[in-house]
Amino acid sequence: REEKEEECRNVNPPLPVDMSGDADRMRGDAIGETLYSECWVIKVLMKLTKEITVGIIGNLCCVPGVRRRVNCTPGLPSVLMDLLNYPDPLTLIQLMRLLKTCLVQLEGAPEDTVPTQVIVNGEGSGERSVEDLNGCSGGSGDGQVADTEPENEGGTDMLTLLLEPRNWLPQMVFILSSATNVGLLCSSLEMLDYLYRIMLNQYTSDSTICTTEMVAALVEAFKELQTELEVGEDDTFSSSTSNKVLLHWLSIITSFSQTPEGVIALSSYDNSISDYLCMHLRPERMSHHLSSSDVQIIMNACQVVTAFLHNNTFRIDLFSRFVAILGNITDKFCDKGEEVATRSSFEREDERNQEEKRMSESEIVCAIEHLCVTMVRCVLDSGDETKRRALSAVMKECTPHHLLVCEAALRRHGVELPGEDCLR
């Protein structure tokens, strides 16, 4: 009786001897007494190893000599570029970091600098060759050891691969269009910002990289980021990280606006881009305390809208945004006369920084005035009554003071308003 009770309590009795072989086959490659498959564990470890390895190489590339060695190691640049097709987001994030580190150091710019203007084949741009970039150390300092490794004789160097759009353009379009990982989208935009700046400004005037597909991908990526990133009640980015992403995205769009092909590509999505510009050009925020990011956003937005004007595709509702910002900055200049007379010696300590800030604001005033004048001229010269009525409606939304500021700017540039029924 006791044996029967013991057998009843044993809910997992041992298998018969003749079935033990079948049990081993059913367990497959499970590790020990667990259900973890050896194959699965190896795949996970390999994926993590690849991510960690790319991250380590990216960190090492902060050292100029190591970066040069990576570039000169036969086959390594090609292997790294092939990872753009890799489906793991974490590995791709590390790859974007690595590519950005190489681009920033090869350009010789600080990593936290966001370009605000791209001049294609401009005066003083100094187009450089592939050999120039390969030989660039990315900086110098006391105690820096020069790298004497031979050139990459067994393969293609990183710059040559990057200067060939087919090696990265389709992959980046796919990543921006389909990725939902915020970290990957942010890293991709940051890397592309530097890549477009270097390619269009210093090394090539090949505008085949400014494609409609890339613009569509950029719009889709920003739409995803607008949903996922921290936004305020008015749908504007409210954190420093979000603002940095906006600056990189807008800088890429500005790079496109510097080439004829890029302007055509942007014009296909001018409504979406204008919506985003209207969303983030907030006159109530961009008034008496302009931050450096506000300055860059305004300047880049002026360049993009100017490109739309030259292609005759622009949104008149942007006009009121720029006029309001212009009026706010003008108010600030008027108020400063009283502030200067009452400042104490303690408040004068950062006078040089304030002077630089005033210079930036003066540049903004000139840029916005030029843009507003160009917009009004385009409307008046077009003879399109629909556009005139739209501009009239927009100007009616402006405050009387902002409207006076706008009219004064127009007269300074020799633009006379034909009559009240036209614009007011």
What residues does each domain of the chain span?
A: 28-134+154-255, 281-338+352-424
CB 31 within 8 A of CB 38: yes
Confidence band (pLDDT; 50, 70, 90) for 148?
very low
CB 365 within 8 A of CB 329: yes
Tell me the C-alpha distance between 403 and 409, whole Å. 10
Which pLDDT score is estimated for 85? 94
pLDDT at 56 exceeding the cut of 80: yes
Provide the token pair at 266: 């942007």
Confidence band (pLDDT; 50, 70, 90) for 332?
low
Confidence band (pLDDT; 50, 70, 90) for 374?
confident
**Percent of the chain topping pLDDT 70:** 68
Which pLDDT score is estimated for 98? 93
> Could you tell me which residues come within 8 angstroms of residue 158 by beta carbon, excluding any fewer than 6 positions away?
70, 71, 77, 80, 81, 102
Q: What are 30's strand-pairing partners? A: 37
> What are the pLDDT digits (tens) for 237-275?
557 778 889 999 999 999 999 888 899 999 999 999 999
pLDDT at 347 exceeding the cut of 60: no
Which pLDDT score is estimated for 304? 93
Which pLDDT score is estimated for 83? 94
Cα atoms in the 13 Å half-sphere on the side-chain side of 25: 5
> What are the pLDDT digits (tens) for 102-125?
887 666 544 444 444 433 333 334
pLDDT at 42 exceeding the cut of 50: yes
**Percent of the chain topping pLDDT 90:** 25
Tell me the C-alpha distance between 190 and 204, whole Å. 20
Confidence band (pLDDT; 50, 70, 90) for 24?
low
Provide the token pair at 96: 């974007």
Tell me the C-alpha distance between 252 and 249, whole Å. 5
Tell me the C-alpha distance between 136 and 190, whole Å. 21
Average pLDDT over residues 215-241: 78
Tell me the C-alpha distance between 27 and 233, whole Å. 55
Tell me the C-alpha distance between 184 and 288, whole Å. 35
Provide the token pair at 367: 């840029």
The amino acid that residue 281 corresponds to is L
How much of the chain is helix, strand and coil, in % rounded to 5? 70, 0, 30
Tell me the C-alpha distance between 261 and 207, whole Å. 6
Which pLDDT score is estimated for 2? 62
The predicted model scores a pTM of 0.76
Residue among 140, 163, 142, 160 nearest 65 (CA): 140
What is the CB neighbour count within 10 angstroms for residue 115?
21
CB 252 within 8 A of CB 196: yes
Which pLDDT score is estimated for 389? 85
Average pLDDT over residues 65-94: 90
Which pLDDT score is estimated for 221? 96
Rounded mean pLDDT of the chain? 76
Which range is least confidently modeled, 68-82, 96-110, 286-300, 391-405?
A: 96-110
- The more confident residue out of 164 and 105 is 164
Which range is least confidently modeled, 30-39, 218-227, 292-301?
A: 30-39
pLDDT at 181 exceeding the cut of 80: yes
Per-residue CA distances from 109 to 117, 126, 142, 194 (Å): 14, 15, 19, 10
CB 91 within 8 A of CB 80: no
Tell me the C-alpha distance between 255 and 43, whole Å. 40
> Could you tell me which residues come within 8 angstroms of residue 30 by beta carbon, excluding any fewer than 6 positions away?
36, 37, 38
Which pLDDT score is estimated for 96? 96
pLDDT at 127 exceeding the cut of 80: no
Which pLDDT score is estimated for 126? 44
Confidence band (pLDDT; 50, 70, 90) for 235?
low
- The more confident residue out of 195 and 152 is 195
